[in-house]
Amino acid sequence: MEINVTKADESQLKPKPTDESKLAFGNIVTDHIAKMEYESGKGWSDAWIEPYGDLSIDPAAMALHYGQEIFEGLKAYRGKDGIYLFRARENFERFNRSAARLCMPEVDVDLAMAATKKLVLLDKDWVPRTSGTSLYIRPTMVATEPHLGVRPASAYLFFIIIGPVGAYYKEGLNPVKIYVEDFYVRAAVGGTGEAKTAGNYAASLLAAEKAKEKGFTQVLWLDAAERKYVEEVGTMNMFFRVDDEVITAPLTGSILPGITRDSVIQIVKNWGMRLSERSLSIDEVIEAAKNGSLQEAFGTGTAAVISPVGQITYKGEDHIVAGGKMGELSQRLYDEIVAIQYGEKPDPYGWVERID
Ligand SMILES: *Cc1c(COP(=O)(O)O)cnc(C)c1O
């Protein structure tokens, strides 16, 4: 597979962050971008890499009007003896499922993987070294055909941008406060909730902003039909440990099938703990919090890995979880997943791929 590379010249290179301990999430991009174009009738062009820069896009480009946009989020990790990707093919397989849901063309997973590796290696000096940091990878596809009128577009741009990141939440591994939203909903079964597409996030902003004003980090979404069952939070799937049962919502179509979620499920089962993918009502969670059987709650996602929940607020009542601290299982899972991602521990699951 030929992936043409045009390197940025000296004058186009950006300064790299000098203090990695201050890295936040999502503010910095590297020197290059990978691209590929699609036209119906012709299919995908070859992929190429060029210096990072603005896109030129027609104001009538359909992504800007009708929301045909999908994305992915994965990371490259600098371990002691190399750079690693974690379950990356699965990100592109999910990308293709998102594409199918939004009537967009699927990409060749091998080509997308090759472009990702080539881009990361070209900008490998940007992969940070400090513990807890990584290089975030954002594959994206947008409809570029200029046309006003609702139908699937005939032309698309696929691109990958990358950038060094630190902790996703300013809290880091400190427990977050979540607000149970009982009016607004994120996604309904039959909608686009299981696709990583821009509209889902636009739809979530108002509730998230209102929760933020009240001092919460995230919103916990309930199911759209009954506002009864817990689904997920902003960009994370949710797990609750009630006594010795670890519970996460089933993939019914309205939640994002997280790769971290799946990793946690496999690890927890492998550790011999009881793991249930089942509907869990918010009343059951609150009851467990009140009677002391809710041992801990945490969110999972590529950006934050494991994010412990220290407080759940529902209908005006605050419920402290795990004494407001990071729970024992959350900590153990975080340590295990991070050790595998950075190549510090044997990977019995076949999840990591060393690329350098
Ligand atoms: C990306 C995302 C997740 C987490 O998925 P991972 O594959 O674990 O990163 C969970 N929920 C939503 C809404 C997401 O966008």
Tell me: do 190 and 328 sit in the same domain: yes
Q: How many angstroms is it from 265 CA to the middle of ligand 1?
A: 14
Tell me: do 147 and 180 sit in the same domain: no
Is 126 inside a domain boundary?
yes
Please tell me the number of Cα atoms within 13 Å of 50 on its side-chain side.
Answer: 8
pLDDT tens profile 197-235 = 999 999 999 999 999 999 999 999 999 999 999 999 989
Is 99 inside a domain boundary?
yes
State residue 2's pLDDT score.
86
Tell me: do 247 and 319 sit in the same domain: yes
pLDDT tens profile 280-308 = 999 999 999 999 999 999 999 999 899 99
Is 304 inside a domain boundary?
yes
Tell me: do 147 and 227 sit in the same domain: no
Is 354 in contact with 340 (CB distance < 8 Å)? Answer: no
Q: How many angstroms is it from 245 CA to the middle of ligand 1?
A: 23
Q: How many angstroms is it from 236 CA to the middle of ligand 1?
A: 5
- Residue list, ligand 1 pocket, CB within 6 Å: 73, 196, 232, 235-237, 256, 258-261, 300-302
Is 354 inside a domain boundary?
no
Environment class of residue 236 by beta-carbon count within 10 Å: exposed (0-12), middle (13-18) or buried (19+)? buried
Domain final position from 165, 193, 224: 165
When divided into structural domains, the chain yields a total of 2
Q: Cα–Cα distance between 132 and 24 in angstroms, integer? A: 11
Tell me: do 191 and 46 sit in the same domain: no
pLDDT tens profile 251-276 = 999 999 999 999 999 999 999 999 99
* CA-259 nearest atom, ligand 1: 7
State residue 131's pLDDT score.
82
Q: Which residues pair with 62 in a beta bridge?
A: none
* CA-263 nearest atom, ligand 1: 8
Q: Cα–Cα distance between 183 and 185 in angstroms, integer? A: 7
Is 268 inside a domain boundary?
yes
Tell me: do 130 and 195 sit in the same domain: no
* CA-200 nearest atom, ligand 1: 13
Tell me: do 124 and 212 sit in the same domain: no
Is 19 inside a domain boundary?
yes
Tell me: do 213 and 258 sit in the same domain: yes
Tell me: do 24 and 125 sit in the same domain: yes
The range of the structural domain enclosing residue 75 comes to 4-165
Domain final position from 131, 165, 199: 165
Is 349 inside a domain boundary?
no
Is 171 in contact with 217 (CB distance < 8 Å)? Answer: yes
pTM over 0.85: yes
Q: How many angstroms is it from 255 CA to the middle of ligand 1?
A: 9
Phi then psi for residue 270, to 5 deg, are -60, -30
Q: How many angstroms is it from 189 CA to the middle of ligand 1?
A: 17
Domain final position from 165, 187, 203: 165
